[in-house]
Amino acid sequence: MPVLGAAAWGGGLAGTLLQGPALAGLGGCACVAVAALSLRWRSAAFLGVAVLLVASGAASSAVLRAHQVAHNPVAALATDGAAVTVVGTVTSDPRSVPSGVGDRVVWRLEVRAVSGRGRVFVLATPVLVMTDDDSAPALGASVRLRGRLAAAEGEDLAAVLLAHGEAEPLAGPGPWWRAAAVVRQSLRDSVAHRPDDQRALVPALVVGDDTGLDPVLEDDFRTTGLTHLLAVSGTNLTLVVGFLLVVARWCRVRGRWLYVVGAIGIVGFVLLARTEPSVLRAAVMGSAALVAMGSNGRQRGLRALGSAVLVLVYVDPELAVEAGFALSVLATGGILMLAPTWRDALSRWLPRWCAEAVAVPAAAQLACTPVVAALSGQVSIVAVAANLVVAPAVGPATVLGLAGALAGLMWDPLASLLGTLAGWCVAWIVVVAERGAALPTAAVDWGTGPGSLLALTALVLLVAALAPVVLRRRASGLACCVVMALTVLVGPPSRGWPPEGWVLVACDVGQGDALVVRAGSGAAVVVDAGPAPRDVDRCLDRLGVRRVPMLVLTHFHADHVDGMAGAAAGRDVGAIVTTRLLDPPQGVELVQAEARELGLAPQPASAGAAVTLGEVTLQVLWPTPGSSTRGPGDGSTANEASVVLLAEVRGVRMLLSGDVEPEGQAALARAMPGLDVDVLKMPHHGSRYQDEDWLVSLAAEVVLVSVGADNDYGHPARSALDPLEQAGADVARTDLDGDLAVVPDGDSARLVRRGR
C-alpha cells in the first residue's frame, strides 16, 4: 500500500502539472498493465502492473478534473468578463485578504446555476467570491449573487466572482452545519475573557480557527516550527478522537462500539473544522495515526498511510501538488518509519518515555525539512526542541478547549473555567514560540533553488541513516545536543552583515517597502513596514535596531503598513508619521489600532517639515500642506499622496519616494529644480509609470528597488530601470539581491548586497 500510495501521488502530480502528455503516456502504460495483468504475473511484476494502473488512474482523474473545472460555462463566461447571476451553496467561511486597494472578503461557492449573456446553465462548479461586504452568508447556506466573473488563477476554481451588493439568502444551512456553528461559537465564548493571544490560540488548536491571531505571533510559530498547531492537522483529530475514546471506555463502551464512537468523533471533528480539503486531509491522516496506535502499529500504520494517500488523491487530485498535503504525508511517514528506530536507540540511555518524546517530533521535522525550506527559504534549528517543550501542553489545551465548548452548551461558568485552564496551557506555548523565535539562530536561511533543495534532501537522508548509530551511544548523543544548543544560542560566524558604517538599508520584505535609515547606535528611522511583520522584524534584528525614534508610513496600502507590528516588536517607538490622505480605510484602521497599542497618535506629514533625529536629518517634500485628507475609499489615489522624504546621514543624501506617481514626480520637479541626491529609492517598486526625465536628473549613484520575486504586477519594468542604468547608476533589486545597504565612500555612496 505505501508503494501504491506513492504511485497515486506521482500520477496525480503528472496529471496536474503535465495534463495531456501525462494522460496519453500513462494511458498507454495502463493498457500495457491490463495486458500484463491478464497473464497473471506475480510478485514484483504484479506490483509493477498495479503501480502503472494506479498511477494512470490518478493522472486521468487529475486531467479530467482540471478539464471539468476549466472548460465549463462559468469558465467561458469568466473569460469574457460577463455580468452574471449565480445560485449556489457556500462551502467555506469568509476570510479577509489584502489587496492593492485594501482588504477584501472572500469565500468559496459551489455554483448550481448561472445566468448570463441571455442563457441559463445548470451545473456544479467551484467559484471564489470576492466582495467588499463584511456580512458574508453562513457556511452551508444557499444564496443568489450578482456580479462580474473574472478568470481564476488556481486550477481548482472555474472563476472569481466580483460580487455587487449583498448575497440574497435562499435557504439556511442544514442542521449539522448549524450545530457545528453553535459549538464553534461556544468555544470562542469560553475563552472570550482571556488575553488576546490565548483567545485566538485555543480555537486554533481545537478546530484550526486562527481568526484574530497576531501576525507577529504567527511568524514566531513559523520560525520555531510550531505552525502545525495553528492549522487543522492529524494531531488535532488524534487528540480529539482519542479523548472521546477514553471517555467511551470510562462509560464501559467496548468492542466494535468503540469503532462507532471513533467514526462519530471523526465526522463531528470534520463538521467543526469545516469540510475543506485541508480538514479532510487531516481527518484521513489522523485516522491513519489512530490505526497505527494498535498492535503491529508500524506495519499497520504504513498500510493505512498508503491507503490514505491513494484515496485522497483519487478523490481530490489537486492535493497532489499542495504543500500541506506533502507536509502531512511526510510528517506521518517520518513518524512511522524513523521514530521507532530512533526511540529504540535513545532508549539505551534514556527512559523510554523521554526517548519517544524526542524521537517523534524530530522524525516528523526531519522528514518535512526539504518542503519547509522550499516554502520559506529557511531551516528551523529550534523546531525539535520547541515541539518537545510544548508537547505536554498541546494535549491538555486541545481537550480542555473542546470540553469548554461542549460545556458552554449547558452551563457558562463551567465553560469559562475550562476555557481558563485551556488558556493557561496555550500561554506556555506562546512563551516557547516567542522566546524560541528570539534566539540568535532560531532559523537559518536556505536557498530555494533546485541545487540547494537537492543538497538539503541529501543531507536529510544522510541524517536519517546516521541518526540511529549516533543516538545509540550516550556520548555521541549528548555531543549532538551540545552542538545544536551552541549553534542556536550563539549563532554561526557573521557573514559580514550589516556592513560597517551603513546609513540606509532596504529590507527584503517581498512585494512592499521597508527602509531603515541609521539614526545612531541601535537606533534607526523606519520608513514603511512591508506586508509581513516577521520580515521587517528580522531585518531590524539583523541590523541591531532596538530604538525607532520615528516610524514613517508613506501611505496606507497593505504592502507598506501591514508589517507595522513587526517594526515595533520589542522596540521603543518614539513617533508615528503618516500621509495626510486617510485612505484606504482598512490600512488606516490597522495603523490606528497598532498605534493605540503603542500609546501613540499618528501625526500627518506635510511638505516643509524638517527634523533631526540623532545622525539623520529628514525633510518632508510631499504631500503639500493643503492636500486632501479624504479619498474615494478604495485606495486608488493613495500612491500619489505618498510621503516623500529627503534624508541625509553622514553626508549621504537619499530620496525616499514611497509610491508617488508621475504627476507627483512632475510636481516635485517643479518645486525643487536641480535636486541632486546620492541615493534614490525607486518609486512604486519600479513600475513602468515614471517621470523618466526627473528620475535621471536626480543623478543618483545608487538606486534601490524594493520589490517581491515573481510578483503579479510586472515590477520592476525594464523601461523604468534602463534609463537610470544608462545614466551610470548602480541599480539593485531586493528580489534578486536580498537586503540592500548603502555605505558612505568618500564623497559618494557605495552599495552592499546581502544576497538571498
DSSP characters for 587-641? HHHHHHHHHHHHT---EE--TT-EEEETTEEEEEEES-TT--S---SSSTTTGGG
Question: Are residues 323 and 338 located together in one domain of the fold?
Answer: yes
Please, are residues 328 and 9 in contact by the beta-carbon 8 Å criterion?
Answer: no
Question: Are residues 27 and 128 located together in one domain of the fold?
Answer: no
Number of domains in the chain: 4
What is the C-alpha separation between 246 and 703, in angstroms, rounded? 64
* Domain assignment of residue 139, yes or no: yes
Question: Are residues 129 and 238 located together in one domain of the fold?
Answer: no
Q: How far is CA 477 from CA 291, 305, 381, 480, 492, in A?
A: 31, 30, 17, 5, 21
In this predicted structure, what is the pLDDT of residue 647? 96
* Domain assignment of residue 477, yes or no: no
pLDDT < 70 regions, the chain:
19-45, 97-103, 134, 154-155, 231-240, 242, 271-282, 285-297, 357, 376, 384, 440-443, 445, 447-448, 484-496, 756
Question: Are residues 47 and 117 located together in one domain of the fold?
Answer: no
Q: How far is CA 246 from CA 243, 392, 546, 560, in A?
A: 5, 18, 50, 50
Question: Are residues 209 and 106 located together in one domain of the fold?
Answer: no
Residue with cell 519600479: 686
Which CATH number goes with the domain that contains 146? 2.40.50.140
* Domain assignment of residue 491, yes or no: no
In this predicted structure, what is the pLDDT of residue 234? 59
What amino acid is encoded at 634 in this protein?
Answer: D
In this predicted structure, what is the pLDDT of residue 203? 86
Single residue among 16, 40, 70 that ends a domain in this structure:
70
Question: Are residues 137 and 184 located together in one domain of the fold?
Answer: no
Question: Are residues 33 and 147 located together in one domain of the fold?
Answer: no
Least Cα distance to 109 among 130, 83, 135, 134 occurs for 130
Question: Are residues 642 and 678 located together in one domain of the fold?
Answer: yes
Single residue among 22, 53, 70 that ends a domain in this structure:
70
Question: Are residues 115 and 235 located together in one domain of the fold?
Answer: no
- Between CA 448 and CA 453, with CA 450 as vertex, the angle to 5 degrees is 60
Q: In terms of DSSP bridges, do strands 95-99 and 102-116 run parallel, antiparallel, or are they unpaired?
A: antiparallel
Q: How far is CA 441 from CA 31, 230, 445, 485, 493, in A?
A: 54, 23, 10, 10, 11
Q: How many CB atoms lie within 10 A of CB 594?
A: 23
Single residue among 70, 87, 111 that ends a domain in this structure:
70
Least Cα distance to 416 among 430, 401, 426 occurs for 401
In this predicted structure, what is the pLDDT of residue 634? 77
Please, are residues 401 and 422 in contact by the beta-carbon 8 Å criterion?
Answer: yes
What stretches of 254-313 adopt beta strand conformation (E)?
none
Q: How many CB atoms lie within 10 A of CB 516?
A: 27
Question: Are residues 600 and 530 located together in one domain of the fold?
Answer: yes
In this predicted structure, what is the pLDDT of residue 102? 52
Domain boundaries, position 700: 504-629+637-753
In this predicted structure, what is the pLDDT of residue 277? 62
* Domain assignment of residue 368, yes or no: yes
What is the C-alpha separation between 141 and 92, in angstroms, rounded? 10
Q: How far is CA 188 from CA 99, 209, 275, 425, 577, in A?
A: 28, 9, 20, 16, 36
* Domain assignment of residue 483, yes or no: no
Least Cα distance to 358 among 380, 373, 375, 338 occurs for 338
Least Cα distance to 99 among 705, 604, 640, 511 occurs for 511
Question: Are residues 50 and 78 located together in one domain of the fold?
Answer: no
In this predicted structure, what is the pLDDT of residue 258? 75
* Domain assignment of residue 590, yes or no: yes
* Domain assignment of residue 484, yes or no: no
* Domain assignment of residue 469, yes or no: no
Question: Are residues 531 and 453 located together in one domain of the fold?
Answer: no
What is the C-alpha separation between 413 and 410, in angstroms, rounded? 9
- To the question of pTM greater than 0.85 for the whole model, the response is no
Alpha-helical runs (H) found in 208-255: 215-223, 234-250
Q: Is 1 exposed, middle or buried (0-12, 13-18, 19+ CB in 10 A)?
A: middle
Please, are residues 692 and 699 in contact by the beta-carbon 8 Å criterion?
Answer: no
